[in-house]
Amino acid sequence: MTASNLTPVFSLHQGSLPLLISIPHLGTQIPADIAATMTPVAQRTDDCDWHLDRLYAFAKVLGASFLTPTYARYVIDLNRPPDGANLYPGQDTTGLLPVDTFDKEPLYRDGHLPDDAEVARRRDAYWKPYHDALTGELAALKAKHGKVLLWEAHSIRSRVPRFFDGRLPDFNFGTSNGASAAPGLADELAALVERHGGYTAVANGRFKGGYITRQYGQPEEGVHAVQLELSQITYMEERLPYAYDEDLAAKVTPLLEALVTTALARVKAA
């Protein structure tokens, strides 16, 4: 559970429902030895999925398990394959060990890019413990309940020209084109958003689900995985200091709760 500096690599809260909320890009810390090789830009952790533990606090009250990392995605991206393969062939993405920000600002000082040995070290120290915990909690919940919903909670700025044109829909559901969850679940969730009004939604669009959704979503085995990439404009300020917006969050939280409970009911009935 800890890296060499003895700081916990992740936090796991175990709940009572067959529901695990994973927030792999929540972390903001960068170990001092890694930070020493990086540019000042890295310390801003601009590409963090800010405040999602706060936004999803309702789920902990309901009885969900929560898995969150300590360290920033700039240390290692927990939602990438361990071999660093591109999840979206032909499209620009950031890798297992990102070398630049979403705005293509360099993260490392000249001559300090991580070598293969450093990649392997970080994979063992940070990536593997998170995935071991994820595997273990899913197995425990499945053993107890028979089925489990893995909800991959993500967020991103509403406009990132590197990855998509124009403004991103507010709610972006991914189930690996239906392979990681019950048939039609992503479309059902997007339709719920549209009926609610006030927000836009898409199913399996630009974001179809990252490594965690694709790797662990095995509906035929009782594990259903849904990724929600939520546009940050729905609940926070998208510029420094990336402040949480209480008024916006209060409007979107009831819809989030309806989406999570709808998905959980669907999984239980599958």
Q: Summarize the confidence of residues 50-58 as an average pLDDT.
A: 98
Whether 89 has a pLDDT exceeding 80, the answer reads no
- 4 belongs to a structural domain: no
Given a contact cutoff of 8 angstroms between Cβ atoms, the answer to whether 212 and 134 are in contact is: yes
- 3 belongs to a structural domain: no
| Cα–Cα distance, 259 to 64 (Å, whole number) | 14
CATH number at residue 246: 3.40.630.40
List, for residues 134-166, the tens digit of each pLDDT value.
999 999 999 999 999 999 999 999 999 999 999
Report the pLDDT value the prediction gives residue 1, as an integer from 0 to 100.
45
| Cα–Cα distance, 124 to 129 (Å, whole number) | 7
| Residue range of the domain that includes 33 | 10-269
- 231 belongs to a structural domain: yes
What sign has the CA pseudo-torsion 36, 37, 38, 44?
negative
| Cα–Cα distance, 181 to 5 (Å, whole number) | 38
- 152 belongs to a structural domain: yes
DSSP 8-state symbol, 189: H
Q: How many domains does the chain have?
A: 1
The vertex-73 CA angle with 72 and 78, nearest 5°, equals 120
| Cα–Cα distance, 254 to 214 (Å, whole number) | 27
| For the chain, percent of residues with pLDDT exceeding 90 | 91
Q: Summarize the confidence of residues 220-243 as an average pLDDT.
A: 97
**Cβ-based neighbour number of residue 22 at 10 Å:** 29
- 85 belongs to a structural domain: yes
Report the pLDDT value the prediction gives residue 270, as an integer from 0 to 100.
85
For 94-166, where are the E strands, in sequence order? Answer: 148-156
List, for residues 120-135, the tens digit of each pLDDT value.
999 999 999 999 999 9
| Cα–Cα distance, 108 to 110 (Å, whole number) | 6
- 2 belongs to a structural domain: no
- 58 belongs to a structural domain: yes
Q: Which of 159-165's residues contact partners 24+ apart within 8 Å by CB, and which partners?
A: 160/102, 160/103, 162/92, 162/102, 162/103, 162/104, 163/91, 163/92, 163/93, 163/102, 163/206, 164/206
pTM of the model: 0.95
| For the chain, percent of residues with pLDDT exceeding 70 | 97
R_g of the chain, CA atoms, integer Å: 18
Structure tokens of 215? 């790797």
- 45 belongs to a structural domain: yes
